[in-house]
Each structure stands twice: as structure tokens, then as C-alpha cells.
Amino acid sequence: MSDADRHPELSRRFGALSRAEAVLVENIGIGHFDRLGSLPVEGDPDRLVRAELIRALLLGGDGLPKMHEKGIRLSGAWIKGILDLEGCRIPHDIGLLDCRFDAPPVLRSAVVDTVSFDGSVLPGLAADRVDARGDILMRSAQISGPIALRGARIGGDFALDGAELTHADDRAVSAERIAIRGGALFRGTRVLGTIALPGAKIGGDLDFVGAHVERHDGPAIEADAVQIGGDLILRRVEVTGRISAVSARIDGDADASGAGLWAPGEIALNLNRSEVDGAFFLRHEAVIDGALSLSGATLGAIVDEAACWPKPGDLLLNRCRYGGFLGAPVGAKERLDWLSRQDPSRWGEDFWPQPYEQLARVLAEMGHQEDKRSVLIAKERLQRQARIRRARRWPRKAVLWMSDRLLWVTTGYGRLPLLALVWILVFWLLGGFYYAWLERTNALRPNSPVVLRSPEWVLCGVPQGQTLFLPSIGQEREGRALPGQAQLACFKEQPEAAAYPKFSALMLSADMIFPGLGSGQKDFWSPDTRITAGYFGKLYAYFQTLAGLGLGLLAVAGFSGIVRSD
């Protein structure tokens, strides 16, 4: 019996069927996979299947063959015309594999089960607001126009693994606000155009492993405000153009291991204000030619390699928070090199202190206290340099510069308060050596007014054989100094000097630095300003007093945190 005899309504509506159509109608009720062959050439009459016939079979009706529960399962057909299923309710799978389409299939607002165009050639897909209770599969397909899935809902996966999408200078995939219960899979996909998924909700992974995406005058991947229940996977991708995932919410990892991202002069990967519960991966020879922006992002951890960091000026970490480093450099030297790749001036600011505070906090939590201190010192130095640059008048710049240098040398900007005590120790030892040398060169003198007026001291300043009138006793006496003998040396030989306190260079130096120490050396001995070396010794004593007071105050301020900028 012919198809016309068995299905008169079919014959009335469609006339004579092609060989491919006859095969489709013959098997529509038994669920066989109708393989007509490999991908057909356009215009092959033996492979022709009219889109209106497929629509009629899917929708069914009186006089039409009843479809098997498995739905349409056809491969190798040339589908002529527009497969228009807009607004239709089709409780069957649609499997049109390795087919060539004349026009983009239309699934707008349709309710379907699984739709598969694997291996097919399509000029696009119009499926805004489609409700697919199963998957939408376009694996290894060749699509030369836009795929529109705005507001769509997919109960399974949206898979374009190995597909080739071409819609240059425009969006190859427009899937704003799409809701996917499974994963969005672009593994090995080659795209000339933009993949746009802003506001998407994806229950599984957003997977671009091995994908190649190219867009020269716009964003290559738009995923702002996307919600991903699994991972954002960019492993081994090659992307020419920007990747934007601003305000994304990722329950798993964001993995850019081995990625090649090229957007010179622009932000190649933008994760601003994103939340990643897992780790951010940047390793395995990943290359970013452009900026990596993590400003305001919250990351569970960072797993990276120094060789994969962006070039200087291409890293943005302002307000980025992360829990730690896993399998990554944690030394202050390496991480300060990491932070130095920021250039706030490029983005209209002078300095970002938060990245240094965050790094110090993480290093402290990981037990690297010395590295934490080094990071905070670097932060103080750079922040103070920025403050000097902001100053408008040069006198203020000069004052700030000198005060900053003083704080750096003496207390490490308040982060090394014990350094002030080290300087005090240095000045004390230097004073001890200097005063000991003054004593050996007889450039000291008693510091007691009584002794300075006593005959034994005054007469030691006069050579033997000469006389000097002493008003204190109203008599003239002969000098006591031997030829060439210094006054101090002569005084020490006098019996009256035996009761005078012995000289101690270190205690005199300590008395100069801490006037209230109370050892008495400062009250009994002093550099002799009549001698050049003693004159400079007196100046050094004044310096010691001021330095002791200043360094002591700085040490206290450093311990209390007063001199820090935080």
C-alpha cells in the first residue's frame, strides 16, 4: 500500500514525497533511527525533507501517522524551508543529526523535550524563551548565524562541544537570562563572534575547555551576573577579545590553567565583584596579554604560578579578598612582585593599599609573620610616596619626604619599633668609643665647678717653673705640669684627684643619651671644648641627648601604632 493510500491527509497536504520523506514517514511510528547518510550537499533531491512535513509529523493530527514516543530521529537530510515550531507544545524528542538546514529553525516559546542538531549545518537558531525539558545539543554542528536563546529554560545540558559558530562582529550566541539545570558546554568549540550569557543561571559547569573564541572589536565572552552551580572552566582556551564575568557567582572553581587570553590594552579577563567559593587557578603556562581584573572579587583561594602572572601594569586587585594560596608562591618577595604588577595610575588612582593589607592578613593566617611585616612595610613606603605626589607645594613635599625617610630609617614606618632601640645602641657604642678616645688624647675635663676652680686642676694647666696667682686662696703658686704634659694627665697624677670619680666612657655615653640615668658621669666629666676634638665631642653629646629623646618617643609610638598610616 502506498503512502497516499495509508495517509490520504498527508498526500493531500504534501503531495508526492521524496525518497527521504518516504523513509521518515515509514518509520515515524516505530522509533528507528533513520540514517539517510552523512551530511548532504545542498539541493540533493534524494535527501530532501520539507520542514513543513517535519512540523506536521511533530504536531500530529487526524489522518497523519502517529509518532513513536521516541520522537523524530533522522540524520543526513537536507531540510528545506523553515522549521517553524514557535509556540508549539511537542512532548517528544527532536533529533535532526548531520542535517543541512535552509533556514534557522524557529523554537521561540516552544515547549519541547530534548532537541539535538548534532553534526548539522544551520544558518542559526531562533529559540528565545524555549522551554526544553531535556537537553539542547548542537555538538560538532556548523552554525553560520546567531543562536538566540534569550530567556530560555533548559532542563538538561546546553552542549556545543566541537561546534563551529560564525557570526563575526556580533553575538554568535545570545543567551541572556537563560536558565540551564545542567551544564553549558563549549568544549573544543570554535567561535567567530561573541558568546553572550549575561544573567544566566547554570546548575552545572560553564565549560570552555579547549575552546577557541575570537572577537576583535568587542567582548568575546560575556558572562556578567552569571550564576554557576559548578565551575567556570577556561582551561586551555584561546580567546582573542575580552572575557567579562563581572558580578558572577561561582559555587566551584574559576580555572584558567593553560589559557591563552589576548586583549592587548584592554581587560582580558574581568572578574570584578565576582564570588568564587572554590579557587582561582592561573597556572600551567597560562598567558594573559591584557589586564586581569579581580577588583572587588571574593575568592576561596588562589592557585597560580609566577610565570603566568600578567605583565606589569596589567593586574587589578583592589578590594580583592581571598582565603589563601594553595600550591602557589607565598614568600613576601614573590608576592610583592605580584602586587607590583598593579598600576593604579593607569586607572586614574594613585595607590591601592587594600591589596597589601589583604596579602599581609593572608600571610599571617598562614603563619608567615616575617613576610607579613615585609608586605606592610612595602605598603607604608608606597602609600607615603603617593601622599608626597599628591602634595601640591614643594615645601610640604620636602617636609613629608624628610619625615618619611626618618620614620623608615628609625622604625621601619612603625612596623619595626625595635629598630629605634638598635639605633640607640649604635649611638651609645659610638659615644663610648669616642669618649674613650677623648680621654686617651686628654680632651676631657672635670665637669664640677668646684674642681675646675681648685688649685690642683688650675695649676696643672701651668708648666713647672712658671707661677700663677690663685684668687681663690690669694697666693701665687708654681705650676705642676711637666713639660709637654696635658692638663688632664697632670690632674690625674695629683693626690687630690684620687678621690674624684673614675671616668667610664660607656657610662658617660649612656648618661648623654638618657640624662636621667643617674650614673653621675655626666656630672663629673665632659669633653674639653678648648680642644677641637673635645668641641666636636660636646656637639656629639648634645646630639646623643636629642637622639635618645627622639628615638625613645619613636619606639613608643611604633609599639603603639601611632606612626603607621593605617
Q: What is the tens place of the pLDDT at every residue in 14-72?
A: 888 888 888 888 888 787 777 888 888 888 888 999 999 999 889 887 777 888 888 88
* pLDDT on residue 387: 81
**Residue 43 burial class via C-beta count within 10 angstroms: exposed 0-12, middle 13-18, buried 19 and up:** exposed
What mean pLDDT do residues 169-177 have?
94
Report the alpha-carbon distance of residue 539 to residue 434 in Å, rounded. 12
Report the alpha-carbon distance of residue 430 to residue 451 in Å, rounded. 28
* pLDDT on residue 319: 95
* pLDDT on residue 562: 62
With a cut of 60, say whether residue 517 has pLDDT above it: yes
User: In the chain, what percentage of residues exceed pLDDT 90?
Assistant: 53
Q: Which helix (H) or strand (E) holds 386?
A: helix 369-390
How many C-beta neighbours within 10 Å does residue 213 have?
Answer: 25
Residue 246: which region, alpha, beta or left (left: phi > 0; alpha: psi -120 to 50)?
beta
> Would you state the torsion angle of the CA atoms of residues 270, 275, 281, 286, taken in this order, to the nearest 10 degrees?
-10
CB 125 within 8 A of CB 158: no
* pLDDT on residue 375: 92
Report the alpha-carbon distance of residue 32 to residue 50 in Å, rounded. 19
How does pLDDT run across 416-450, given as a tens digit for each residue? 777 888 888 998 899 999 999 998 988 898 888 88
User: In the chain, what percentage of residues exceed pLDDT 70?
Assistant: 96
Pick from 115, 59, 13, 116: nearest CA to 28: 59
How does pLDDT run across 248-272, given as a tens digit for each residue? 999 999 999 999 999 999 999 999 9
| Residue with more model confidence, 228 or 390 | 228
* pLDDT on residue 462: 85
Write the CA distances from 246 to 225, 294, 295, 349, 443, integer angstroms: 6, 9, 10, 21, 75
Residue 410's φ and ψ, nearest 5 degrees, are -90, -35
CB 538 within 8 A of CB 526: yes
CB 255 within 8 A of CB 231: yes
How does pLDDT run across 459-483, given as a tens digit for each residue? 888 888 888 877 777 778 888 888 8
CB 468 within 8 A of CB 459: yes
What mean pLDDT do residues 96-118 have?
95
Write the CA distances from 278 to 255, 298, 510, integer angstroms: 10, 10, 58
What mean pLDDT do residues 7-14 have?
73
Q: Which helix (H) or strand (E) holds 180?
A: strand 179-180
- Cα Rg of the chain (Å, integer): 44
Report the alpha-carbon distance of residue 302 to residue 108 in Å, rounded. 42
**Please, which pLDDT band fits residue 565 given cuts at 50, 70 and 90?**
low
Q: First CA to last CA across the chain, in angstroms?
A: 92
Least confident range of 87-101, 282-296, 372-386: 372-386
* Residue in the block written with cell 701651668: 462
